Amino acid sequence: MRLDTIPRIGFADPAEHLQAEFHWLEARLADHILRMRDDGRFTDDPMRGLFLSEHEVLAGLSGLPRQPEAHDPLRGIIDLRVQAGQPPPLYRVAQDFGLDVISRDALMIVVAAALDRRFQNAIGFAHNDVSRTLPTIGLLLDLLAPDDRNAALGLFSPEGLLIDNGLLRVADGQNAVPLTDRILCAGDRIVFAIAGQAGGIEPALRAACSTLDHSIEDWAADLMPLHLPQSRILVIEGRGDIGQRAYAARRAKTGGLGLIAVDFERAQSFSKDMHELGTALAREARLESCALLVEIESSESGHAEGLIERLSDLGIEAIFAVPPNLLDLRRTAAADVQRCALPEWEAPDRRGLWQRALGTRSGADPARLAWSTRLGPAAIAAVRQLPPENWEAASMATATRQLPAILELVKRAWLRDDLLVPPRVARELDELTATVKHWPKVVGEWGFGAGNPQARQCLALFSGPSGTGKTMAAGIVANEAGVALYRANLASVFDKYIGETEKHIDRLFSAAADAGVALLFDEADVLFGARTEVQDSHDRYANLSTAYLLQRVETHEGLVILSSNMPCNMDDAFARRLTCTIHFPLPSSSTRLALWEQVFPPQAQRCPDLDLAEIAAVFELSGGAIRNAALSAAYLAASQGTSIGMPHLLRAIERELEKTGRNPIPADFGSLATAR
């Protein structure tokens, strides 16, 4: 057949190309079976595979491999049609992974056995053993390189492109089988890719991988003009979202590639072995014609240096976005790896991003958005797809999503009128609220933050007896200032392992600053206790934790409220760092009366003889104790089926006094002793 007379018409679709490949494979298998018969290596005995005859053994030893036909017309026709049109998936995969002709054809044969059962029967026949219906290395060598088996054997070694890149693998349980008798198979991801029905990223990796859009990620290129070093593997160091995705998208687009973002923590659920994980990610990158952006957020994410080395060995374009000083590149032998650091975005820079996102639209305040959270380009790119009037809520939801579990939201259950405190305390609370509310204007627009780093912090100490309204005041200040308040779980902050407490503290403050939320430390004297003289190792490491906390508080941007009944136990070094100190005294008699009137709802049934003025004058209780006593009295009255009366309230007050360690006596009740 003269190939120059065949019309050069490309394949219409992958199915037509596979059909042609299957015809070629049918001819190869038929020719192989006939040659085996001619060489005496094939028998029709129904017991074949269970025993070997002398004739078969001698034929196998004396039979020489026969040369294939000088010219394979079917393969020539396929190659001509491929050249005339768009390369089909098999040829694209071969090109992307650098496969030679034998490796490409071997991949096609393995995929054909997975797609068409006819080939399984023919392969079993070609093996002269119907129990082996999948291709072995030996059969592939007989079909594709009968004249030079030894030279082609290396293509199927662990270092060969087919197996090293994860295109083919040795079937389970085959490692103890002689080399050429080992069965090769392909995963579903490869089979669907060759069939032209690729469904995107492998299902086992989808939870950790996502395909990014260049135009969405790099939407403000002129505001991020940084030029990154040119290397196959680039490590970008920086805290949080500071443009890593934008730079990665720009780099991938320049190279004509797409971009796959990889969540490193989630990817380890696929495999903690960096060699195996790197092979899978590299395979996805080549199949999708993408570069990789590996995002690492925590220092507890395992040793990513092994992943860098594996991707470098496979020649994959990859960017690693990591916190500063997380990776030690000296632990990897990877070549062509460079490191660079990105500067953090300040509030004026973030305002420029929000202003660019807003454009000519209205409904959002770029300045408030820039100062309320520290969202970066990637997060703003997602938020800007929404209507501007929803941006503030969406940005807060995005920011708080990253808060650690040791922070608990304090629900906004109080209003300013609910807090009854002396005028001096009320004035100081108003001043603190004004500081937090107008912090963006004073520190940002008016420039007070440029020369005074402490202007960006707001550390307040609320001291006073228990139940005087410190926690309630913290919630009201945060509410009026327009920020969410989160309480730190001190039990989760402390850790028995050395260095872990400092990690929890850093994670807590960093997440709070990024989300723009206020922090509340109840019983702060426990965490902020005074440093002591070192007597043993416990004192030493406790002092280290306090010293680190001092340093971290001083650099924190945002509102931090410390609440303590015993401020004298706190370290003196905190005094210089405090923005304000507010003492909450026990309420006066008039304030207690107002509190008693406030705690009883209008619908509560009270007896006419309930003299709240007398109770307020006799008992010096805190607001918290008053609230508890009123609730206990209500339960006592409800259990007796009566209205709330003086005996119920006095009994509840007696319980509150007992909580303080006092054993009430009649003198404590004054003129109300007879009403008990």
Whether residue 410 is contained in a domain is answered as: no
Give the H or E element holding residue 26: helix 14-38
Domain of residue 224: give its range. Answer: 203-341
pLDDT higher than 90, residue 343: no
**What pLDDT score does 71 carry?**
42
Q: What is the pTM of this model?
A: 0.77
CA distance 61 to 69: 23
Whether 162 and 14 share a structural domain:
yes
**How large is the average pLDDT for residues 588-602?**
89
Q: Which residue has the tokens 């768009």?
A: 86
Q: Which helix (H) or strand (E) holds 322?
A: strand 318-322
Contact 611, 453 (CB under 8 A): no
Q: What is the CATH number of the domain that holds 660?
A: 1.10.8.60
pLDDT bin (cut points 50, 70, 90) of residue 366 is confident
Domain match, 148 and 13 both: yes
- Answer yes or no: is 407 within a domain: no
Closest C-alpha among 26, 6, 27, 2 to residue 83? 6
Q: Name residue 209's amino acid.
A: C
Pairing of strands 485-488, 407-409: antiparallel
Is residue 9's pLDDT more than 60? Answer: yes
For residues 75 and 45, state if they share a domain.
Answer: yes
Which tokens in the block code for residue 294?
A: 């590996």
Tell me, what CATH number does 535's domain have? 3.40.50.300
Which residue did the predictor score with more confidence, 289 or 503?
A: 289
Residue 408 lies in a domain: no
C-alpha closest to that of 134 among 161, 94, 178, 171? 171
Q: Which of 341, 358, 378 is the last residue of a domain?
A: 341
Domain edge (last residue) among 531, 557, 583: 583
Query: What are the DSSP calls for 394-463, one per residue?
Result: HHHHHHHTT--TTEEE------GGG----HHHHHHHHHHHHHHHTHIIIIIIS-TTTS-GGGGEEEEEEE
**C-alpha distance across the termini of the chain, in Å:** 117
Contact 145, 102 (CB under 8 A): yes
358 and 255 in one domain?
Answer: no
Q: Cα(258)–Cα(285) distance, rounded to whole angstroms?
A: 9
**Same domain, yes or no: 514 and 654:** no
- pLDDT tens per residue, range 396-419: 888 888 888 888 888 877 888 888
Three-class SS state of 470: helix
**Nearest Cα residue to 421 out of 468, 471, 460, 477:** 468
Check whether residue 569 and residue 593 sit in a common domain: no
42: Cβ–Cβ under 8 A, 6 or more apart, which residues? 33, 36, 128
Three-state DSSP at 267 gives helix
Instruction: Please give the C-alpha separations between residue 407 and each of 175, 375, 479, 506, 521, in angstroms, as whole numbers.
Output: 51, 19, 17, 13, 10
Comparison of pLDDT for 333 and 370, the residue scoring more: 370
Do 34 and 148 share a structural domain? yes
127 and 102 in a common domain: yes
Rounded Cα gap, residues 499 and 502, in angstroms: 5
Q: Please say whether the beta carbons of 236 and 203 come within 8 A.
A: no
Q: Is residue 224 part of a domain?
A: yes
Quick: pLDDT tens for 129-176.
Answer: 778 889 999 999 989 988 888 889 999 999 999 999 999 999 988 888
Q: Are residues 469 and 552 in the same domain?
A: yes
294 with 368, same domain?
no
Residue positions counted in the chain = 676
Please report, rounded to a whole number, the percentage of residues in the chain having pLDDT higher than 90. 29
Q: Are residues 103 and 241 in the same domain?
A: no
Residue 321 and residue 461 share a domain: no
pLDDT digits over 268-297, tens only?
999 889 999 999 999 999 999 999 999 998
pLDDT digits (tens, 9 = 90+) for 14-28: 999 999 999 999 888
Residue 348: which of 448, 444, 461 has the closest Cα? 444
In a domain, 300, yes or no: yes
How far, in Å, CA of 375 to CA of 380, rounded? 6
Question: pLDDT digit string (tens) for 77-103?
Answer: 888 888 888 899 999 999 999 999 999
Q: Could you say which of 516, 551, 583 is where a domain stops?
A: 583
| Number of domains into which the chain is organized | 5
Structure tokens at 298: 């925590």
